[in-house]
Amino acid sequence: MFSPSSPSPGKTRVRTDTNAEPSSSSPATAEPATDALSDGPLLAFLFLTFLISWPLWIASDVLSRGGAGPLDFRWLLAQVGVFGPSLAALIVSAVSGRELRRNSLRILPLLGLALAVGFVIALVEPASNIEVGSLAAIMVTLVTIWVVIFFWPLSPKLLLPGTGEAQRPAGGRWLALAFVLPVVLFLLAWTLTGLQSGELGLSSYQSDVAAFGRIVIVSFSINFLFGGSLGEEIGWRGFLLPRLLRRHDPLVASIILGVVWAFWHAPIDLTTGSFGPGPAALLGRFIWTLPVAILFTWFYIKSGGNLLVALILHTSLNISSDFGFSNYERSLVVCMILLFLTTLGLWGFSRMPRTGS
């Protein structure tokens, strides 16, 4: 379980779970622990994250469309804002030392490649994620495959931007669970809601298994690159979380990250009303984000701090909106409840490591 402790600044490490997949190389730390615990880089990361994201969202004028509209160049400008956390993490990390600068330069081309694919998509201006043309579908799928390969087999060469510690290779079981768990929870919620209402419909499935398979692949790939996964997780779980875990036990670190994460979405929620009208949207976002942040921390620690697990989990949480599920909003509410209960169960019945050594 999440166990509180009182770490000593400059000397602590987060011990990942002993059941995590073993590393093929011994972890290395590129920067001193005292630098990882200093306030300057943390504050710089937060400042840059909001400085990049909020102005670009406002300038794109996408918020005025209420989250709807085509995937055009306004959408692409807003997507650069979505990449704010990852860009901020890599920039701040790059000025922290030579090895971390090299590490940032390894990862930055992935973000550029994703945005280049976004440019191709914006040229066509598809109405939704699943309506991109064949060329864009192939491109977005191939880039997603490359990012997965980059973070999986090559991950021993990568460092966590926040602390300079080497990532462990992604364990297959944690990758599978990160994908399956959100999907199972949503499908269970949708089934329960449908049984109660007497309606179980899926508009994206038209008795063509191959066509539906294409929709699933394209939806996953677009959400992986543009749904916040690649744009956010290098920042939230690659930079902010490992730094917070140096100072706090996992539960407190998760709550702090969850508050920042929820507040970062404020312009979107206040404009689009994703979680309710006006200020109620902020409350709804906080209620949703806090248990999700705890779930991400559980996966982060259990998987040995691998970023690919976080990328897969984030994507899997987002893809349900693309398929035309009946009773979608009600299903989301039930899914939130199931997610909260699942998080409580994982927190209460899993042995989580203490911070410190």
Give mean pLDDT, residues 112-123. Answer: 95
State yes or no: pLDDT of 209 exceeds 60: yes
Query: HSE (CB half, 13 Å, CA atoms) of 296?
Result: 34
User: Closest Cα to residue 282, out of 261, 313, 254?
Assistant: 261
Each residue of 282-320: pLDDT tens digit? 888 998 999 999 999 999 999 888 999 999 999 999 999
Separation between Cα atoms, residue 294 and residue 248, nearest integer Å = 13
Separation between Cα atoms, residue 28 and residue 2, nearest integer Å = 25
Each residue of 20-44: pLDDT tens digit? 444 433 344 555 344 445 688 999 9
Q: What is the pTM of this model?
A: 0.87
- 36 Cβ contact list (under 8 Å, min separation 6): 162, 163, 164, 242, 243, 246
pLDDT score at 130: 84
Percent of the chain with pLDDT over 70: 84
CA angle 18, 144, 259 (to 5 degrees): 60
pLDDT score at 354: 46
Each residue of 67-83: pLDDT tens digit? 678 999 999 999 999 99
**What tokens appear for 42 in the block?**
């943390």
